Chain A
Amino acid sequence: MKIENHILNILQLYEFAMAIGKSLDYKENCDALLKLILKRKSLNATWILKEEKNKLISTYSLPMGKEVKTDFDDKIKQLLESEYQYKLLDAEGVPPAITPIKIETGQLAVFNLKAQGYLFFYTQKHNFTEDQLSQLQPVIDKFYNSLLACRSFEEQKTLLQNLKVQNQELSDYAHMVSHDLKSPLRSIDALSYFLKEDFENELGEQGRQQIDTIRTNVEKMDALINGILDYSTIGKHQTEFYDVNLDQLVKDIINLIDVPEHCDIKVSELPVIYGDKYRLQQLFQNLISNAIKYNDKTNPQIEIGASQEDGYHKFYVSDNGIGIEKAYHDRIFETFKKLQNDGSSTGIGLSVVKKIVETYQGRIWVNSEPGEGTTFYFTLKDKH
């Protein structure tokens, strides 16, 4: 009979252990185990109190009872603090402030959940034994770990929610700002155009040049605003991914942009990748345009190629252009950082490229020698 009871106790502990961790929701996780213990052990109530800013607060209670929010005073500390895993108390001596339900007689078992607080079990009958609590301890230890997981999950959810809100605010702000900035720019552009058209003779050469300067700066400002908007929206919105033929994409880019005569662009076989054509076009177009623009050679050479490495596609865009000093190899990817006093550069192009690469869980880096040329390498995750 004794062996049978031991087997029964062990199997009951198995049932309790299997009830732990069925949910990452704190209340559901507590319900799954604590309701089961109440039922199987014929207990009356259970609750968890956690210390926060020197107060004891109930985080779970069954039955619900009243909310516990009490000072963690010396009397209660004497009862609950100190090194122990569990203890058995007479219900009569327990301060009502730490019980969500009214208890007069019976027993209270307290398990120390360390950072997660104190777990109480109450029975009107005196049917707890030290042996039972000792047997329950490993189950409670496992339960403690599950509570940690629940708390982490909750925090993660909150952080993600905050991030979502902030992203949306940023996106809204960027749209708002770009719209408010673009509107006067359009006016300046239009008016300066009409000024030049209608008063061409009166303006003279110098006047016409000044108006051209105004219009160039307006274009630059417009490009900058578009760049900021692009930068702020990359990765913020759910984008549909599909197979994109990069061979065709790069060919289309070369046809689209202004490639100078004597400029050779050599494209090796490029893979089909799973992505978003709009952003991939931005990425390649920025790099190819830079390779063309920052080249002082009579016969500019640009090479574009790819290889496969460890679940990633590795690409390169290489040129024989002016090159970049090593000190600036990281800075060039920072927003608004330009290396040349180039009126047409917004300083945001490579930041956009880097951000696009990061949405594909890749990275970008550069090898370059001043006067000899530059190679941009970047990886994009292979989703196939």
Chain B
Amino acid sequence: MKLNPARLSKKDLAPFLKGLAKDYDLYAPVRLTDGVSVLKKVEPSDEIDLGSNPQKGLKEVFFPQWEVMFQYEAVERRSRVASMEAVPRERVVLGARPCDIQAISILDDVFVGKEFTDTYYLQKRQKTTVIGLACHEPCSTCFCSSMGGGPFHREGSDLLLIDLGDAYLVEFLTEKGKAFRKNEFLKKATAKEMALAKEIEGQASKKTNASVPVGGIDKKLDQMLESPLWNRIHEKCIGCGACTLLCPTCHCFDIADEALDKGGRRVRNWDSCLFPLYSLETSGHNPRPSGRERTRQRLMHKFNYFPKNFKKIACVGCGRCILYCPVNFDIRHAIEMIQKEEGATAL
């Protein structure tokens, strides 16, 4: 049964969170310094920053950059091992953007696959309710609409907030979300407010760039492994990992043992295909010896290998890689260059 949306006054946001904190661990975007925000675990008293999409978004709630898998210690000539996958409390994420939420469906394909399930990811995923925040002011670097999403994309959110000015309209989208309908701070929304939300949605959708030409790019790339395009496209890339680490869909990791004298822990850390070390083999040989191969990998994985494996492109158009690249490598231009490349027609 579809529930009518509710209304959450902005004045009630703090008490709303305080109430939730009794039953849930809270995650929300917070400002670390002027211009830099991350979505992280918060206390209800923390100041939440819903103003812009944070540098580090929803991905970290389910797949932290630095995660302990298990730890061990030596106790009287034996070792005691403690696994760390359990998630003791239910979680609520507030204020994730639709692009980041769409990206989670991409991560689900990887971590909750038919053959293999990643328990660390799955436990967090099952215990989390996602309250999305629709983008009423998308940026010029946003191209979610080209990637099958949009500023009001609802898939993946349990609840969606729409900013009406002095209040949020709250849509109940899943069973998990509907469990919130009796929350004391969620009031009945008026027909006028619902109409206003529709209007804001219409305006926002017009603003995002739907013209990034990704149609058929996977097929096109099938023919392009040895294309001369790669000799040029990577030139300006300095080989840092900012784009991949901040990307909501990039999910490569490296497992390491942090060993101390009488104990230690096994951790997994985010990794990046743009780092030379990523593909360096024990022998000293590196099958991706230069930026050409590494940039190609980044783009091929998103636009060719991933679609082959999971029938979807591993990019949601959030624009972070464009915004935070130190040398202005623009993935939209890379897509255009790939599509324009001649002599690489689909079979």
A and B: bona fide binding partners: no
Binding site for A on B (CB under 8 A): none
